[in-house]
Structure 1
């Protein structure tokens, strides 16, 4: 089968994955922000809890020391000595926030600066916390107190504590500072991450744009470099060296190919002219005439193959040098359908066009017409009598969709990739006239216009879909 009748998913020409690059850099920046913020939050949280713990231990140590002194007084001088000590310290609340209370076993107060034993308490092992109302300049304020209880041998109860309002205020300020620190660090990391992500996207975007120009045929393009001498510059330098080598080899190959093609045209043309002149001779024997006609047919086939190869090389190798103009693809498709309708009718095939209005793009009209001709001719060649071929042009959000669908025999799935290569034909189609270059030329023309090409199952038959993006004409010019 001539390289034009295929159902292959792998033939689609994917555009540069700009969105994927953008998402990858954003994810990397977000990961850096989260890791950095988590690290700073861990450090600040650790500092906060360690500081609060040190303050708690300091308070507990002061209370435990005071309880020890009071118990010693009771051991040396009994109840009178303890009451005397407590009365001397009843004014400690105003100076140090100290809290004392000595009661009988039944709770009756004996000495201290608390009126009664606290009832609403929070118990933490041997420690308790409660609140007392204290008069200050601004009015009555609830002060939290942390205290330790001790039962004397006589059954009397001793409570020693201290005001922890300032400690809690300090802890609150530490928490506020921690939150502000974490928030500031997150904002700073976010700003850095966004700037980093944008810088990466700009550089990769420039690389992608250059690669698209190179894929369009402009091998003179090079990846941009900066003076940072970072990994991107090292990558760009290596790729640019590779591009210089490819451009040099391509130029030599193209020059050699063009020279050989042009040098072959002359001898082939002269040989054809001589054969045609010989065929016009009336005394030529019938056997010799048949041989000469067969030779002439083979020469015509060689000339067609040579012309197709030159078109493929032209579309693939120098797309940026080809002239472009405004092309109404819908009008071109209608004209070609009208042109091939008689031939299709002679074979018993229905050839139709679907589409409305105009479909203007900018491209090379001659190569676009040749690509569409190849698709139509291949369909006519392989669709049996009674079949149907439909050429369609449809508008899409990002460009145009050109499709050629038929209900022919199709091809096996295993051959859908390799059939796209030049000179590849199916074994079952070896008897058909052709060179296996039809779809290769179509693919080259689509690459020139940065179009995608899908070969799908028409159930039955083949559907060739070519999507020409709106941005393609600018690249081709």
Structure 2
């Protein structure tokens, strides 16, 4: 009982029941209209038959005379069927016909009437005289004879009763079919909804790999399931990323925190020598700065992956940003024995966040400065490029250094990942992760390619517009 109450409370069942009721009511009204019109049509047909025979007999009376009228009425009276005929002299005495008992008013006042009657016995003399109800029309012919023509309506009423019986059976059939269709539809819809609820319950219990089943019907439920699954994929990816970040933070920050603690402990054991304590404090500050930079990078990545807040995007002149960064890092590159060149298409404007795009470009340039020095004493060369291509904007930072092995190009974009040759250098392994997050935030992508020799880091972003360069 409780299950039925719960099912009835669902919007699907109540909406289905409403539609079934509306369908049944309109179907019953339609059948009733058809039945009523059928009965009316039968009555009109009988009235039309009476009028036609009256006109025929009147025509015979005018053209052929009384004798032919008598023969015509006699012939019609002998025919089987619902026809009623009477022909009498001006005094009302019957000459020929199949009904002789009429109410006096019918013979006295011409017009249309309905009455109960008894037919004469059949002409062969056998059987009982049929009883019935008749619809007749009486009139006086030009010859002075009284004519009555009519139809038995019992047969018509029987036919009408058959129509009404069919109408009732049709109503029952419609109601049963509507209920069956409603129940069938409700069950199918509730099954789809139950599947979504079941998947949601499993996900809430901790199984993030569950997905809403998708059928091959390509209906609105499949569209909803596809959207929910895409959302679940995104949530699972974020949760997995959070887990990885937590593990990596716990692993990578353990070492600097341990060094800080050991330095502080050593300073306390030294007996208070100022030089030892000063060195311990300087080391602690340096390690703290590294930790702060790491957390700032994590916060910036989280901000990029969470999406920009409302109003954070604006039209950004990326050409100016790239030129400024290349100019800013030019002297630093010279100190490192390298050269930075800018290959920038002027006037490129993107819809985005200026701070994040600038920070991503800075990370790429700093990575090139750290790891882009070629071996064997060859001069280092970094090219910062920006150009439109096929409706996209490609922001590239290329170097001629030792490069990155193809198997590691995807891996270095992950958080806290550092290759073996870079583990001794300062850094947290978050720079390229931030670049990838910024690219995704701007509906683009980030990839690392072979520059032959060296590395080419490419941010592929959708283009907004290109403004003409100013002189």
TM-score by length of 1: 0.44
Name which one, 1 or 2, has greater alpha-carbon Rg.
Answer: 2
Q: Which has the higher contact order (CA 8 A, sep 6+)?
A: 1
